[in-house]
Amino acid sequence: MSLPRTHRPLAMGQTAAVVSNHPAATQAGFDILRAGGSAADAAAAISLALGVAEPFMSGLGGDGFYHFYDAATGESTIFNGTGAAPLEIPEGTYAEGIPDLGPLAVSTPGALGGVAALQAAHGRLDWAAVVQPAIALARDGLPISHTYRRFTDQFMGSLTGNAYASASYLDGGALPALGHLLKQPQLAATLEEIATDGAETFYRGALAKRFVAAMAEAGVLVTEADMAAFRPQAQAPITATYRGYEIRQTPTNSMGFALLQQMKILEHFDLSDYGPRSPELIHLMVEAKKQAFLDREIYSGDPDFVDFDPEILSEAYTAEIAKRIRRDAAQEVPIPLPQGSGNTTYFAVVDDAGNAVSCIQSLYAPYGSGIVAGDTGILLNNRMTGWHLEEGHANRLVPGRRVRHTMNAPMMFRNGKPWAVLGTPGADDQVQVNMQVMVALVDFGLDPQSAVEAPRWSSSQPRQTSKYPHVAGSSLKLEEDFGPAVIEALGALGHPMTTCPPLEGPCSVGCIRVLENGLRMAGADPRRDGYALAY
């Protein structure tokens, strides 16, 4: 099968590989690896650097999932760094709904706790060493990119209502020019404090007191008690197989099980007669996604309060779902109302010992709540907009509980060894784009860069969106380089079609493949500032 020329080279090396959504963050992780650090050390450096270089996506004020594979034991652990809703929510606070922006959209941030727990458990270097790259970026500055300008221009309204946010990310209240040097001295000082005193100061130390005071001044409901109560959770992965490959995935409160169910549904179909861009293949994947999103609504919630049923990933159950799919027509599959039962960044590392990390972190929407907490330089999330308010919903807002997350950080294994580490930001598009990349890798043998750059689609169905008030219509969006014949054929099957230009579809995938000879090859997405390095 001939492949089109990719826009980015395939990064390859015999020792280690890194991919993230910003060159400066990828370089930070790469440098840590070259200095003798492990994949966990590199992950911590990348996580913190992304909060500086890509502030509209993630940072200290957000959440994350950090999936670590230990080559010495063969085991995977997910460090769940997702915070809870405030413990005290005055009655009537959300009587008119949950706002997209502002103080009432903020939940307890957990990302720092999660990545610090990962580094403490599996790092080789001192904690202070892995924080240094982020400190340098914040103190010395980094140039504004096209991606920074695109997101900032689109979400300028999120920043102009908060003086600290406007001062942090704009240039005199205006969109910064390409190449403008973005310096964040207040964030640099906060990171210095975290480097010296560890993540503990952020949750239960001197920094926590200043941070909470700044949030209170802005009207945020997160208190000192909320910060002190936070503890990252170490979780075992959930797993499923696809054509002989094991997929390990982030468990609830992640919605990652929807990806596993999609893959299990597809496994009941022979894809060998289809091309990677054929309308028949796209149709099957879209219909599998629609069905999986029904169970996503039932089982995605805080695992301390909502039980997950692994039977939904079984051969028998997914075979029954596969029988519902019509090959000759698209089906309308609205998300049911409960019956009583954004934006993000991704990165991956494989180190010299074969350890691997698959990591994803987020503020939720670009620029989160639009609030920077006083002089801490910390931009706060708007994760509260992920809650449901309906009685009986698995994800109904309850003080002190963790909201469900679209974030997921999978890995694929062959014969017990890492085969592919991949993921993407993109809210409800995440699991469907991850599915497309996995099919490209497994069923069509694409290399990571070709799989990442391949044209992609995004499906929406009624009441799908993870963001309050959880509405959506029916649509299937395709990048135009699928070609008019494919688009026309899908329309003829009944899919409500929309299109976008090439490389302007959803998500920003990072992918590392480990070959049988040990070679690491990495692909980065040109849809944002994705960048891969290997040595």
Residue 339: predicted pLDDT: 46
**Structure letter (DSSP) for residue 405:** B
H-run or E-run covering 511: strand 510-514
Residue 342: predicted pLDDT: 60
Within 13 Å of residue 438, how many CA atoms lie on the same side as its CB? 32
Q: Are 122 and 73 in contact (CB under 8 A)?
A: no
Residue 3: predicted pLDDT: 60
Measured distance CA(106)–CA(86) in Å, rounded: 9
User: In sequence order, which residues have a C-beta less than 8 Å from that of residue 220 and are 6 or more positions away?
Assistant: 103, 104, 106, 371, 373, 380
pLDDT digits (tens, 9 = 90+) for 247-264: 999 999 999 999 999 999
Measured distance CA(226)–CA(243) in Å, rounded: 44
Identify the segments of the chain with pLDDT beneath 70. Answer: 1-4, 337-342
Measured distance CA(228)–CA(286) in Å, rounded: 43
Is residue 344 part of the annotated active site? The answer reads: yes
Measured distance CA(172)–CA(205) in Å, rounded: 34
Rg, Å, the chain Cα set:
22
Q: Catalytic pick from 108, 147, 152, 344?
A: 344
What is the number of other CB atoms lying within 10 angstroms of the CB of residue 515? 12
Distance of CA 42 to the CA centre of its chain: 18
Q: Taking the C-alpha atoms of 187, 192, 198 and 200 in order, what is their torsion angle to the nearest 10 degrees?
A: -50
- φ, ψ of residue 428 to 5 degrees: the values are -65, -15
Alpha helix (H) ranges present in 9-61?
Answer: 23-34, 39-53
Angle between helices 279-299 and 484-492 (to 10 degrees): 60
Measured distance CA(184)–CA(27) in Å, rounded: 19
CATH C-level class of 235-343+407-534: alpha beta
How is the chain split into domains, by residue range?
A: 24-232+361-386, 235-343+407-534
Residue 11: predicted pLDDT: 98
Residue 338: predicted pLDDT: 59
Residue 340: predicted pLDDT: 37
Give first-to-last CA distance, the chain, whole Å: 28
Measured distance CA(113)–CA(111) in Å, rounded: 5
H-run or E-run covering 65: strand 63-70
518 Rama sector, left if φ>0, alpha if ψ -120 to 50, beta otherwise: left
Measured distance CA(323)–CA(83) in Å, rounded: 39
Residue 336: predicted pLDDT: 81
pLDDT digits (tens, 9 = 90+) for 225-255: 999 999 999 999 999 999 999 999 999 999 9
Task: Tell whether omega for the bond before 253 is within 30 degrees of 0, i.e. cis.
Answer: yes
Q: Which amino acid is at 133?
A: P
Measured distance CA(66)–CA(22) in Å, rounded: 18
